[in-house]
Amino acid sequence: MSGDQTGNEYDLHAVMDGEADGGVPHGALLSAFAEGICRSDRAAADAAREAVAAAMGEAAMVDAAAVVAAFNAYPRAADATGIPLEDVKVEMTADIRESLGLEAFNNAG
């Protein structure tokens, strides 16, 4: 995982609770931005977009939007084509997926 490579500490539970920054600079703002977009909540997305741009700059906001778009598209494409999660990734992520309760979102079932 990237934190292992950089020595940074991240709290992945922030992904699920949406309130904390998870150890990522501006993490709570970025999370609110992603949530607004992925939930198709125009008012929340607009407010978060403005907050991200004000805190991090326009270029960072555009980068964040591109990341949200990409990470929204990749799993949909994989699910649509039936691409399974590789065995090595199943093993590597088992503890994280269990800790965060991510199996509740398993669409491939």
Convert the pLDDT of each residue in 4-63 to its tens digit.
777 777 777 777 766 677 878 898 899 999 999 988 999 999 999 999 999 999 999 999
Q: How far is CA 83 from the centre of its chain?
A: 20
Q: Are 36 and 48 in contact (CB under 8 A)?
A: yes
Q: What is the pLDDT of residue 108?
A: 47
Q: What is the pLDDT of residue 72?
A: 83
- Kindly state the tokens that stand for 64: 């964040």
> How would residue 85 be classed by pLDDT, with cut points 50, 70 and 90?
confident
- Kindly state the tokens that stand for 58: 């326009």
Please say whether the dihedral angle defined by the alpha carbons of residues 67, 96, 24 and 22, taken in this order, is positive or negative: positive
Task: Please compute Rg for the chain using Cα positions.
Answer: 15
Query: pTM for this one?
Result: 0.67
Q: pLDDT higher for 98 or 54?
A: 54
Q: Are 71 and 31 in contact (CB under 8 A)?
A: no
